[in-house]
């Protein structure tokens, strides 16, 4: 049987009962050229929430009645094609469900290593890590001695982005919500400081922590925090637009009045999508693995249990319950996986 979470009604802010439904149907049978994957982990990304709004993005909105779209990882349990063998570990757009059919295409390269750390593949060695890597290295380009600020610094992308800036020799200041997250950002992820946006005066704290201004800002949140950092830019600053989590729930985005500083400081602000760099992901993962092996890069995950917890996990991403990558464990990985 395949348990799936389908969209019944478009949510307005956080998902509420009735917005989704957990349905059970027979697990699909693979046809010729297909394989059946038992999902182990489903990734809970802010993008998932954007796909529930009736607004065009880089992917179309999820339609009512459809399984909620999400990235996942799993293991092939039945196959009718040459591309996949039983036991292969596969990353897919699995959705909020226990089983998914895959075809042989570029997004589902099977992993056949002896020991696959599926949690790591779903975070630092997946699109999340690639997003941090390419955003920081191709737009942010931190230089030794520069000051880098990262918002959502305890999150999956921010925690990696800040560590990459540290490796580049920059001074790195995080912004996160609450004392526990700020502690983790400094003690575990090695940032030089962390501003608690829930209790600190963010503009004043930025002034204190970034006396010479902000050379690179890696923005995951938008809203008033983006505006505050724009107000502290150093000359020739680079603002990496990675996400607008402050507005994903409501679709409303107050404009940052301090954008005029881009002109006064001859700075740039650039949006990006790591999928544009798909062909270079292996380079990114090679660097990230080397840094992790050298002990210079740590990654964390917050794991909810069971397909039925996907909605809670998605809401938790916006209420701030995760440190590192938010994932839902849908089934137990088999022997070789961690």
Give residues in contact with its own copies (CB under 8 A): 57-58, 222, 227, 241-244, 247, 252-273, 276
Task: Give the nearer residue to its own copies in terms of CB position, either 108 or 261.
Answer: 261
Instruction: Identify whether the C-beta of residue 266 lies closer than 8 Å to the C-beta of residue 297.
Output: no
Task: Give the nearer residue to its own copies in terms of CB position, either 88 or 219.
Answer: 219
CB of 270 to its own copies, least distance (A): 4
What gap in Å lies between CA 112 and CA 87, rounded to an integer?
A: 8
H/E stretch holding 76 reads strand 72-79
Contacts of 191 (CB under 8 A, 6+ apart): 150, 153, 162, 166, 172, 173, 174, 185
CA distances from 250 to 52, 59, 109 (A): 11, 18, 35
CB of 257 to its own copies, least distance (A): 4
CB of 219 to its own copies, least distance (A): 9
Q: Exposed/middle/buried for 235, CB within 10 Å: 0-12, 13-18, 19+?
A: exposed
CB of 59 to its own copies, least distance (A): 11
CB of 265 to its own copies, least distance (A): 7
What gap in Å lies between CA 154 and CA 177, rounded to an integer?
A: 8
The CB density around residue 222, as the number of other CB atoms within 10 Å, is 21
Task: Give the nearer residue to its own copies in terms of CB position, either 5 or 269.
Answer: 269
Task: Give the nearer residue to its own copies in terms of CB position, either 4 or 261.
Answer: 261
Task: Give the nearer residue to its own copies in terms of CB position, either 211 or 255.
Answer: 255
The CB density around residue 67, as the number of other CB atoms within 10 Å, is 18
CB of 117 to its own copies, least distance (A): 30
Task: Give the nearer residue to its own copies in terms of CB position, either 143 or 199.
Answer: 143
What are 78's strand-pairing partners? 36
């Amino acid at each position: 049987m395949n348990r799936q979470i389908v969209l019944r009604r478009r949510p307005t802010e956080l998902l509420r009962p009735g917005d989704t439904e957990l349905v059970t149907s027979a697990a699909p049978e693979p046809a010729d050229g297909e394989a059946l994957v038992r999902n182990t982990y489903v990734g809970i990304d802010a993008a998932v929430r954007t796909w529930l709004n009736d607004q065009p993005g880089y992917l179309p909105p999820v339609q009512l009645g459809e399984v909620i779209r999400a990235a996942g990882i799993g293991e092939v349990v039945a196959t009718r094609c040459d591309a996949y063998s039983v036991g292969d570990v596969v990353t897919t757009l699995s959705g909020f469900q226990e089983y998914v059919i895959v075809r042989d295409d570029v997004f589902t390269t099977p992993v056949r290593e002896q020991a696959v750390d599926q949690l790591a593949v779903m975070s630092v060695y997946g699109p999340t890590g690639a997003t941090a890597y390419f955003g920081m290295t191709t737009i942010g380009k931190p230089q030794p001695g520069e000051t880098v600020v990262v918002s959502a610094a305890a999150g999956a992308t921010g925690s990696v982005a800040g560590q990459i800036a540290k490796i580049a020799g920059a001074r790195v200041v995080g912004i996160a919500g609450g004392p526990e997250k700020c502690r983790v950002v400094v003690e575990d992820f090695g940032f030089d400081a962390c501003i608690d946006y829930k209790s600190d005066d963010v503009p004043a704290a930025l002034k204190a922590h970034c006396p010479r201004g902000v050379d690179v800002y890696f923005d995951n949140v938008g809203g008033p925090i983006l505006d505050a950092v724009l107000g502290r830019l150093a000359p020739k600053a680079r603002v990496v637009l990675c996400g607008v989590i402050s507005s994903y729930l409501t679709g409303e985005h107050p404009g940052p009045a301090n954008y005029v500083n881009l002109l006064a400081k001859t700075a740039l602000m650039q949006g990006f999508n790591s999928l544009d760099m798909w062909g270079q992901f292996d380079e990114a993962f090679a660097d990230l693995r080397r840094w992790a092996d050298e002990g210079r890069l740590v990654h964390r995950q917050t794991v909810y249990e069971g397909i039925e917890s996907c909605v809670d996990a998605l809401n938790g991403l916006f209420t701030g319950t995760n440190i590192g990558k938010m994932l839902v464990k849908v089934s137990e990985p088999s022997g070789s996986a961690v």
